[in-house]
Structure formats: structure tokens, C-alpha cells
Structure 1
Amino acid sequence: MEPGIVSYLIVCPLVFLASFVDAIAGGGGLISLPAYLLAGVPIHNAIATNKLSSAAGTVISTARYCKNRYADVPLAVPSFLVALLGSFMGANLALITSDKVLKLMLIAVLPVVAFYVLKNKSMESKLKRQLTKRQKYAIVITASFVIGTYDGFYGPGTGTFLLLVYTGLAGMDIRTASGNTKIVNLASNLAALGAFFFSGKIVVTLGLAAAVFSIAGHYIGSGMVIKNGTRIVRPIVVTVLVLLFIKIVSGFFV
């Protein structure tokens, strides 16, 4: 398809907003994916094109976190690799499978996750004992594979879920968790992008234009996390979870 000027006017500003949110707490797909649909892009093309713009922006926020040393690189490397594998599998599965079962699972899980975030005001780990290095690696790598697979298959909320697991279960501080989340999210975006590219579903011109706005949003959003930490992350995480829950529930009545 060849998008008209109206498509660009709808998609680009909303992708900027989505990327700003995504750089801080994940969940930008809640805004960007509907933006493509609102612009008249068919669903499979929208999912594929959204990965193009999202991947471009995620490169920027990932680089900024790493530059400021807000990432555990030795832990991020195996996480990156398993997320690549999981997302590629999920993306290929998305092309042939209904996502209704996964949506039902999320409807059950999201209220629990939101309650945890509201109760844990600092967004830091409440673990009573120090994890061993092996335990920490097991939790992070398993989560990276499972959530990476989800990102390739469906996507919205991926960064939020990673952030919550890294802080709540693996005991990472918020800034390091944000950096590692971006590294893993980049892997899942690139793998899914590759799968969708070979399927021929990407609207390249629209995706490249949106990528410019995605880069700007990720740059500004990641800067706010570096400066403000948990003060900016927590309220946006809660907002993302609420929007994701509403989006999934409403999807059953459309």
C-alpha cells in the first residue's frame, strides 16, 4: 500500500508520543499500533511497520542508557540472545495464530501487576534476601526469553513487564533495570522486524518517516529517566498497565 499525507500526519506525532512513553516505562505500542490502524494501515502491516519505527527509536534509548552505564552488560548479553530467539519465534507464530488466549491470560495478570506497582512506591526490589548470581541470571534470562516471545507475537507492554520482573524478582535497581530492559527490547524488536520484513508486510516509507519521530521520542524519554529515576517511571508504568488492560478488554467487544 502507498500511504497518503493524512497517514503521515496521524502516525508521526503519535509515534513520537509512544516512543517517549516507551523509553521511560515501556508500553509505547499501546499508542503507536493504534495510530497505524487509525491511519488505515491493515492490521498485519501495522504490526510489521510499527516494529520498524520502534526498533529505530529503541536503538537510541538503548545507546543512551549504556553510555551512562545504566545497564548490567554481562547480564544483558545472554538476555539479548534469548530475546532474539524468542521474538523471532513469536513473530512467526503471530502470522498464523489468533492471540485471543494470550489476551485472556493478560486480563488475569494485569490487575495483579498494577497492584504490585501501586503498593511498591519506590519501584525497587522488596526481596528479603540477596539472590545468588546464578539465581539472578536464571530469572532475568528466563524472563527475557518469555517476554521476548510475547513481544514478537503481540507486543504492547513488553518493556513494562521486563522492568517489573527485573526490579521485583531479580533485585535490580530502577536505572539498571531500565537499561537492561531497553537492550532486551531492542533484541526482540530486531528479531520481529526481520521476520516481518521477509513476510513483505512492512510499509517502508511510512515506517521510515515514523522512525525519525520515534528516535526523537526515545532520546527525550530516556533522558528523563536518567535525570528523574523512579519519580517519572512509576506513574507512567501504572498508566501503561491501565491502558493495556482497557485495550485488551475492549478488544473482545469490537
Structure 2
Amino acid sequence: MTFLQQIAIVCPLVFLASLVDSIAGGGGLISLPAYYLTGIPAHFCLGSNKFSSCTGTLFSTGRFLRSGNFHFRTAAVAAAAALGGSFLGARLTLFLDDRALRIAMLILLPAAAVFIFWRGRKKSDSSTFDQIPRRRAILLSAVIGLVIGAYDGFFGPGTGTFLILAFTTILGFDMKTACGNTKVVNLASNLAALATFIAAGTIQYNLAVPAAACSIAGHWIGSGLAIKKGAKFIRPVMVLVLILLFSKLVFDMFA
């Protein structure tokens, strides 16, 4: 496959993935297969995808921070815990089979989609976070970061979506603030992983840099839509991501 063909495959799909990821997480379900389609080695696919996605996430995180749609203390605690959780999850892959987790996800994902729709009908896009005592909020933030960070290190797909779901259901944030917090946690995790790929030299920069430009565009547009439209726009995209993840799990198990 020629370089121009690789660009023609990767760049549009990375833009689409970044648009989705900036709104509801789960962009890797689109962008990583795009790199695999080019035929470059798998470890270069992982490194190049992390480079482009991390670059885009930096811009969408900045946009959420400037808009004020985040809660610094809980986001910082969750981000720190997620780094530890990710390390723990990666270690668990050496000892455990992920099949049981995949089966559990096949049960949990439809339930999560139904819950999102139900919550959208029952509640408005408002925050109940202020009703939670500060110490409890910090503890819950650490638990969210640790558990979902471990999931990210062990399995990975849909991490951003689960963070948004956790920040809204457990801590009571509105969708926009939950998205902002999720961007902070994801950025911290992505930067740590990116440093590993850079050190290993497993990034194909001539492909990853143009893809990063598309990622920036997707994240910029998507984060703007999420900030402007709020829950009524974020919820349907979250359900779409859960459907994509469910489909991927079914395909991986039976293909």
C-alpha cells in the first residue's frame, strides 16, 4: 500500500474517531482499526494511534478547561489514581485471561445503554455533586480512577465512556463537567503511554503527524458541540459507542 493510500484511509477515520472521542470517549474503536488497515506493524499502529489521539485529546482538554466545564480536584485525584490503576491492570494481563471480562462486558454494555436512556428521561442535565461531602467525593474520585484505570490497563476499549458514566452516576456531575473531568484523566493516562511508545521508537511519524492534525480538528469540533449542546447531544453518542464496543466484543469472541 502506498503512503497516499495510507493517508486516505487513516486521516478521515481518525477525524471521525476524534469527533466521537471528544464527545463520549471510545474513539479508539475507530482509529486503531484504521491504522491496522494500512498494513504497518501492529506495535507501530499502537504507537502512531496513541500519538495522534493524545495530540487531539490535548486540544479538547484545553477547550473544556477554558470553558470551566470540569472539577479540578476530583479530576486530578482520579487522574493520579488512574495511572496506578493502569499499571495494576497491565500487570494483571500477565496472570489472568480476559475472556471472563469480555463475557461480563457483553452483559454490562446493554445494561449501561438502557441506563443512559432511562436516566435521560428521568433527570435533567443538572449536577448533584454539591450534595456529596468533600472527603467522600475525593475518595470516590480515587476509586473511579483506580478501577477504570485498571480496566484501561487490562482491556482498554471504551474507557472514556465509562469515566463519563462514572462521573455522572457516582459523583453526580452533569454531562459536560463529566466530559471535562474525563478529558483530564484520559490526557494523563495517554501522556504516560505516549512516553513509552516514543522511548520504544514505535511511532511512524510520517503517518501519525497528518493523522494528529485530523485528530485536533475532530477533537476541537466535537468538544465544542459537547460544551454547547450538553447531555441531549452527549447521551446518544455514548450509546453509539457502547453499541460499537458491544459489536467489537461479539466479533472478537466469535470470529
Provide TM-score, normalisation by structure 1. 0.89
The farther-off stretch of 18-27 and 134-143 is 134-143
Instruction: Name the SS of the counterpart of 1:27 in structure 2.
Output: coil
Contact 1:148 1:185 in 2 (8 A): no
Distance in 2 (alpha carbons) for counterparts of 1:71 and 1:149: 23
Asked whether 1:236 is paired with 2:234, we answer no
Could you say which residue in structure 2 is the equivalent of 1:82? 81
Change in CA separation of 1:93 and 1:176 when aligned onto 2, cut-off 3 Å: same
The farther-off stretch of 224-233 and 190-199 is 190-199
Distance in 1 (alpha carbons) for counterparts of 2:217 and 2:44: 23
Change in CA separation of 1:93 and 1:11 when aligned onto 2, cut-off 3 Å: farther
Q: What amino acid is aligned across from residue 66 of structure 2 in structure 1?
A: K
Provide TM-score, normalisation by structure 2. 0.89
Distance in 2 (alpha carbons) for counterparts of 1:214 and 1:226: 18
Distance in 2 (alpha carbons) for counterparts of 1:42 and 1:20: 26
Deviation of the 1:138 alpha carbon: 1.8
Asked whether 1:144 is paired with 2:181, we answer no
Instruction: Name the SS of the counterpart of 2:254 in structure 1.
Output: coil
Distance in 1 (alpha carbons) for counterparts of 2:36 and 2:97: 18
Deviation of the 1:147 alpha carbon: 1.6
Contact 2:14 2:31 in 1 (8 A): yes
Distance in 1 (alpha carbons) for counterparts of 2:103 and 2:47: 23
Change in CA separation of 1:3 and 1:165 when aligned onto 2, cut-off 3 Å: farther
Distance in 2 (alpha carbons) for counterparts of 1:251 and 1:123: 37
Deviation of the 1:91 alpha carbon: 5.4
The farther-off stretch of 106-115 and 209-218 is 106-115
Deviation of the 1:195 alpha carbon: 2.6
Deviation of the 1:98 alpha carbon: 6.2
Distance in 2 (alpha carbons) for counterparts of 1:54 and 1:13: 13
Deviation of the 1:161 alpha carbon: 0.3
Instruction: Name the SS of the counterpart of 2:131 in structure 1.
Output: coil
Could you say which residue in structure 1 is the equivalent of 2:109? 110
Distance in 2 (alpha carbons) for counterparts of 1:107 and 1:50: 26
Deviation of the 1:165 alpha carbon: 0.5
Could you say which residue in structure 2 is the equivalent of 1:251? 252
Contact 1:174 1:230 in 2 (8 A): yes
Contact 1:124 1:167 in 2 (8 A): no
Deviation of the 1:133 alpha carbon: 1.8
Instruction: Name the SS of the counterpart of 2:63 in structure 1.
Output: helix
Matches within 5 A, 1:40-59: 40-59=39-58
Could you say which residue in structure 1 is the equivalent of 2:13? 14
Distance in 1 (alpha carbons) for counterparts of 2:139 and 2:99: 29
Gaps of 5+ in 1: none
Aligned pair count reads 252
The farther-off stretch of 99-108 and 216-225 is 99-108
Asked whether 1:155 is paired with 2:156, we answer yes
Matches within 5 A, 1:180-199: 180-199=181-200
Instruction: Name the SS of the counterpart of 1:71 in structure 2.
Output: coil
Instruction: Name the SS of the counterpart of 1:170 in structure 2.
Output: coil
Contact 2:106 2:249 in 1 (8 A): yes
Q: CA RMSD in A?
A: 2.5
Q: What amino acid is aligned across from residue 213 of structure 1 in structure 2?
A: C
Could you say which residue in structure 2 is the equivalent of 1:165? 166
Deviation of the 1:94 alpha carbon: 6.3
Deviation of the 1:87 alpha carbon: 3.1
Q: What are the Cα deviations for residues 78-115 of structure 1, in whole angstroms up to 9, with x where unaligned? A: 22222233335545776998644432332222122112
Distance in 1 (alpha carbons) for counterparts of 2:125 and 2:101: 28
Q: What are the Cα deviations for residues 109-161 of structure 1, in whole angstroms up to 9, with x where unaligned? A: 2122112112111575898x932222222222211122223334443211110
Contact 2:74 2:138 in 1 (8 A): yes
Change in CA separation of 1:214 and 1:90 when aligned onto 2, cut-off 3 Å: farther
Change in CA separation of 1:4 and 1:100 when aligned onto 2, cut-off 3 Å: farther
Q: What amino acid is aligned across from residue 250 of structure 2 in structure 1?
A: V
Deviation of the 1:197 alpha carbon: 3.0
